[in-house]
Structure 1
Amino acid sequence: MRNVVKIIATAATVAAVAATAAVVLHPQARTVAIAKAAINSSGSTVGIADSDMYGYSPDDVNRTLDLIKGDGVRTVRLFIPWLDVEPNPGTFNWGQVDLMVDAANARGMSVLGGITSAPAWATAPGSAPATSPPASVDTYGDFAGAVAARYRGRVSAYEIWNEPNSVLSWTSGPQGPEPAKYADLLKAAYPKIKAADPSATVIGGVLGSVFSLGALTLDPVAFVNQMYAAGAKGSFDALSLHPYQYTTKFSEGGSVFASPLSQYDGMRQAMVGNGDGGKKIWATEYGEPTSSVDEATQAAYITDFLTKWRTLPGAGPAYIYTTRDRNTGSGNDLDTLGIYRTDWTPKPAVDAVRAFA
């Protein structure tokens, strides 16, 4: 959900950066070779998720990665927006993704890439680009394979879409989220990624922590169960969850209806029941905005989350969202999730991340 809004908010910046960095190449035409760092799949691994970095200048990309590396973070989740990378069929603008991946790898940081945001040409007529699913899952699979071919050995893991259990990220009509169609997306992308880079981890689900509300949202437990029913088993190596909850600490949600912690437990039960108990759930976004709480409370929530998360059976890496506020002092939660303020000064949450990273 958060990333969909970011796509819109950074569109002008992205367009400017892409215009200066775009190159038209076959997706495998790549001469730079920097060995990636592998992502440690332990629940004690702490990363930073930073979707806004896609719209940053080269100087700000490097400054961001220098900051989080200095905090002890060695893995970063980046945004790979299909609508900008392949704006027309067969024309690839890799410049900004190259910049981010090169900069992360040069610092010994592993990369998790989120492949999302279909371009207008790949969606059904009349659909909204970015938030609408592709008209053909095979077209998405081809793009995912092109990404994996280009970044083979340099991007460690890929997420398939972002929060498809919300109409804000999966705008396909009055029926709302479609776990069966999402399962088809996994089945199309998984073999293409593995053929291009057998060592890459493919992460499915990428689910927002929401409760079911008609055609607007579907809770992650129901979504995962319906994914399995549609044949998703065998087409992902791990699942992921975004366990945001602004008013309750993560560790205190065990008995709270539809809390992220209870949803985690439900997802694990679904995985175990389908023979996937050996696979993990990654938390690829978690944060607490300082528009909702003060900075000390933000740090306390992040500390609580990282403390509890690593104790859960089957927990994978946890990524804190995000590096820097868009607009410190704003009343909008999407502007204030950073562990750094807009002026690059640290909030107390930086110390919380350092303590675990």
Structure 2
Amino acid sequence: MRRRTFVVSAAGAALATTTPTGAPALAADPLPPSLGARFPGTGRGYWRGGRPRSAFHRHLDTLRAYGVGLVRVDVSWPKSERRRGRARAGHPYNRRLGVVLDAAAERGVDVLVTLHDSPAWARPGAASRDPSARFPEDPEAVRPWAEWLGATYGDRVRAWEVWREPNLPDATGVTGPGERAARYAALLRACSAGLKTGHPGAVVVLGGPRHTDHRFVRDVYAAGARDHFDVLALRPRQDPGAPPGVRQVANFPAVAEVMRAYRDGDKPVWWTDFAAAASAPEDPGALVRPFELARLAHPQIRLGVLAPGVSPHRLAALRDYFQRYDGRRPLL
């Protein structure tokens, strides 16, 4: 297939030149990361009377037509296991997950399941309706549910991401950065052990911190998480509210340096929630450029999962970009 030349912007050149020495070598003409998209298939908006609305299948078909090969689906622990030890595949919420997995398989699409939140019974010391009380008091409380998930759905799930944005206080209920990382590492260990007991082939993803937060990644490694996940996730949302220096894809070399420092430099990295800055909605290449920078400079980055609400012209630009290549990078 004849490939057209893609001109890297000045920002791209800067990113490439800041890649630390010792990074994995790139092929002469490397493939781009694979493309994924978030699909809120377990949410109420897609369902009526226990059956998926027409939009459920229509949206999956649209994503597939644009070249999406993986969808990220969020699964809430409180909704899946309302009472301790009472998770059942026949529960309406868990039935939704089963339908999502079947519908994705019919289209040849992989599924990344993101686990999040904790039920009130797992955090008795907090007010049951407190939205910031997200980590369970005892991290081992998640292990039986994770084992059930692995045994029940493991052969249909490509990978399991443990928690959403665990570097944020409002997603964890923990204000101190050091304590937040340590408690997350304990939760990750318990959840990973449960998933792999239920399904020995389970692929566990370190829950993507919001932004390219190398400090949180460093603290989680320091807390002993290295051997308890197979993929490291990041969520480089390009929004202006991020702390200085960590929100852009250009900060990835700092993350890669942390991984190498803990002898984990070859582990795959996924963007599990990625969006371009909303300040330039008319720019169709705003999502293409980060994928091209990852292709040229960072072989570790294997997947980019688009956040909801990507405009059709940006999706079309991505589709055209991927059509220039004979394939995508393998996820693992």
TM-score, structure 1 as length reference: 0.71
Match of 1:132 in 2: 134
Residue 354 (structure 1) shift: 1.6
Deviation at 1:353, TM superposition (A): 2.9
Shift of 1:165: 0.6
Partner of residue 305, structure 1: 290
Q: How does 1:241-260 map to 2 (within 5 A)?
A: 241-246=234-239, 257-260=245-248
Q: Is the 8 A contact 1:156 1:199 kept in 2?
A: no
Larger Rg: 2
Residue 339 in structure 1 maps to residue 304 in structure 2:
no
1:124–1:309 distance in 2 versus 1, CA, 3 Å? farther
Say whether the 8 Å CA contact 1:132–1:171 is kept in structure 2.
yes
Report the counterpart of residue 223 of structure 2 in structure 1.
230
Task: Tell me which of 262, 276, 279 is aligned to 2:267.
Answer: 279
Aligned to 1:318: 304
Measure the CA separation in 2 of the matches of 1:247 and 1:163.
17
Q: Verify the 8 A CA contact 1:123 1:129 in the aligned structure 2.
A: no
CA RMSD of superposed structures (Å): 2.3
**In structure 1, how many angstroms separate the alpha carbons of the residues matched to 2:135 and 2:250?**
28
Q: Which residue of 1 aligns with 2:24?
A: none
Q: Does 1:143 align with 2:145?
A: yes
Change in 2 beyond 3 A, CA 1:158/1:43:
farther
Pair 1:87-2:87 in alignment: no
Distance 1:356 1:44 in 2: 12
SS in 1 for 2:253: helix
How far apart in 2 are the matches of 1:350 and 1:80? 26
Give the drift of 1:136: 1.6
Once residues 198 and 95 of structure 2 are traced to their aligned partners in structure 1, the CA distance between those partners, rounded to angstroms, is 20
Q: Cα offset for 1:148?
A: 1.4
Q: Report the equivalent of 2:4.
A: none
* Whole-angstrom CA distance in 1 between matches of 2:250 and 2:289: 16
Provide the C-alpha distance between the structure 2 equivalents of 1:314 and 1:43, rounded to a whole number of angstroms. 11
Q: Check conservation: 1:118, 1:134, Cα contact below 8 A.
A: yes
Residue matched to 2:313: 348
Q: Which runs of 5+ in 1 are unaligned?
A: 1-41, 211-219, 249-255, 323-337, 341-346
Q: 2:114 aligns to what?
A: 114
CA contact (8 A) 2:166 2:184 kept: yes
Name the CA distance, whole Å, in 1 between partners of 2:138 and 2:293.
40
Q: Distance in 2 between matches of 1:153 and 1:49?
A: 20
The AA in structure 2 aligned to 1:272 is R
Shift of 1:257: 2.8
Q: Say if 1:74 and 1:108, in contact at 8 Å, map to a contact too.
A: yes
1:143/1:221 Cα in 2 relative to 1: closer, same or farther (>3 Å)?
A: same
Cα deviation 1:47-100 (Å, max 9, x = unaligned): 112346523121222111111111121211111111111112223331211121
Report the TM-score when normalising by structure 2: 0.76
Whether the aligned pair in 2 keeps the contact of 1:116 and 1:130 (CA below 8 Å) is no
How has the CA–CA distance of structure 1 residues 49 and 188 changed in structure 2, closer, same or farther, with 3 Å as cutoff?
A: same
In the TM superposition, residue 106 of structure 1 has moved relative to its aligned partner by 1.4
Bigger RCO (CA 8 Å, 6+ sep): 2
Unaligned runs of 5+ in 2: 1-30, 323-332
What do the CA deviations read for 1:220-251 (whole angstroms, capped 9, x no partner)? 21111111211111001111101111469xxx
